[in-house]
Amino acid sequence: MTYPLLVVTAVAAEAEAVRAGADRGHVVVEPVGVGPAAAAAGTARLLATGRYRAVISAGIAGGFVGRAPVGATVLGARSIAADLGAESPDGFLPVEELGFGTSVLPADPLLFKGLSAALPGAVVGDVLTLATVTGTGATADLLATRFPGAVAEAMEGFGVAVAAAGLPFAELRTISNPIGPRDRAAWRLKEAFAALSTASAALWTACG
């Protein structure tokens, strides 16, 4: 018996873009909600069936200027919960410094290797997960400094990685806008969805 690959997205529009390119005989695509909590709960519910061989968090994202341009495909080497921690007079303290676990989860090495081979033009780096996406240049600059390996920002990857609980996991994003001040008129959603469909055609090959 061949177990399918599960791809979870935040919203239906992203799921439709993935389905448009994916091998529907081997790839199951489901929207699970926006934000890390909804993503973790929805993914855990789906994985509880025990019928999937791996899970990928996919969708559109914001790209760090100079690291991942609009229209690019991004592979997350690590998914990082960038706002999981505490404030302090000296700045943000990640949850590791508080002694309460980890905010960094790496992609499965074999799945990541397969995706990298299948998508040789993808930008590789860390993908940040935030419950509140960035809307100012100051925050974008702060995150870029705190996370020099980060190439993109989204809202679900770390939650999906937690729900994977040992099952092979990876994160795939396409860039619709630069991170910083929110200028919806400048977003390139059509292009990002098209790139997501194109990238999705390689998912089963990478997983197999």
Predicted pLDDT of residue 81: 97
Q: What is the pLDDT along the chain (208 residues), one digit of tens a residue?
A: 478 999 999 999 999 999 999 988 899 999 999 999 999 999 999 999 999 999 999 999 999 999 999 999 999 999 999 999 999 998 889 999 899 999 999 999 999 999 999 999 999 999 999 999 999 999 999 999 999 999 999 999 999 999 999 899 999 999 999 999 888 878 899 999 999 999 999 998 877 6
Query: Which CATH number characterizes residue 199's domain?
Result: 3.40.50.1580
Which residue type, as a one-letter code, is found at position 131?
A
- Domain with 114 in it: 5-207
CA-based nearest residue to 58, from 30, 20, 37, 23: 30
Other Cβ atoms less than 10 A from the Cβ of 32: the count is: 25
Predicted pLDDT of residue 204: 83
Burial environment of residue 40 by CB neighbours within 10 A (0 to 12, 13 to 18, 19 or more) = buried
**Total domains in the fold of the chain:** 1
CA-based nearest residue to 60, from 170, 185, 188, 180: 188
Predicted pLDDT of residue 196: 96
DSSP codes, the chain: -PPPEEEEESSHHHHHHHHHHS-TTTEEEEE--SSHHHHHHHHHHHHTT---SEEEEEEEEEE-TTTS-TT-EEEEEEEEETT-EE--TTS-EEHHHHTS--SEEEPPHHHHHHHHHH-TT-EEEEEEE-SS---SHHHHHHHHHH-TTEEEEESSHHHHHHHHTTS-EEEEEEEEEESSS--GGG--HHHHHHHHHHHHTTHHHHH-
For the CA atoms of the chain, what is the radius of gyration? 16
Predicted pLDDT of residue 208: 66
